[in-house]
Amino acid sequence: MRKSVFLLSAGLAGLILACSTNPFTGNKDLNFVSNDQIFPTAFAQYDQFLKENKVIKGTPDAQRVVTVGQKIRAAAEKYLNANGYQGYLEGYQWEYNLVQDPAVNAWCMPGGKIVVYTGILPITKDEAGLATVMGHEVAHALVNHGAQRMSAGQLQQLGAVGVGVATSGQSTQAQQLWMQAYGVASEIGGTLPFSRKHENEADEIGLTLMAIAGYNPDRAVDFWKRMEANSGGGAPPEFLSTHPSGATRVANIQKNIPNAKAQAAKFGVKF
């Protein structure tokens, strides 16, 4: 029993110490999954996805995805190099693809592999709207949100082991109740707030990227209002959601616009 608790505590301590610096916020983020570990898997999954889905090539919309993506990538490189993070993007293999799918969605895998679904284009409407989306998705990849979620998931599993160890002397029914309570508490108190934090962070960083790329960050507000209108207001309460509410998101973006413009001004981009 004592040995199990000691090993669990040692494991938790090791994981907690495994932090990386966020180049955009300066904060220390929990992350013990390296790019060398996650990139090869992400690239393979991306290639498989493209084989299984219809990729749109040679259209104005497809070219717009590539154009905006390249500008966002260049903005990220400018920011990182100017702030002492030369070489941060080593190993990234940027790719931008438009995929035929009615889903209102877009994503960027670790290492810069981007997909935009055709279903989101009526809401993005123009390059500024698309830059809002792609800046947000690229931000997730730049600060390793995927790796952080993997790290947090492993911590959650360790916590479950800890509950099992602590309740090992109780009845099977009591152990099950404790495990269920832990599952609910860790989801509402840990996983969901963690995810909402990532969304807010990606919004803020995405604003900076789109601004440096030459797109007015004020236009991000218009896009997210269109997204909220498209959702029909059917989202769950914010504390039960992986994403901030539409109103919270718009308010946070409006608050962060001045900083995005100030960052862009450092590179000679003014609005």
Q: Is 137 a catalytic residue?
A: yes
- Cα distance between residue 50 and residue 28, in whole Å: 34
Task: Enter the tokens of residue 184.
Answer: 């609910």
CA 43 to chain centre: 17
Residues 6+ apart with CB under 8 A from 179: 160, 163, 164, 167
CA distances from 24 to 35, 46, 84 (A): 18, 26, 11
| Bridging pattern class, strands 55-56 and 19-21 | unpaired
Nearest Cα neighbor of 165 from 17, 54, 5 is: 5
Phi/psi for 86 (5° steps) reads -60, 135
Catalytic pick from 52, 77, 127, 137? 137
- Cα distance between residue 61 and residue 64, in whole Å: 5
Residues 6+ apart with CB under 8 A from 150: 33, 38
CB 112 within 8 A of CB 93: yes
State the greatest distance between any 2 C-alpha atoms of the chain, in Å, as a whole number. 67
Task: Enter the tokens of residue 2.
Answer: 């004592």
CA distances from 189 to 26, 65, 193, 247 (A): 24, 37, 7, 21
Catalytic residues: 137
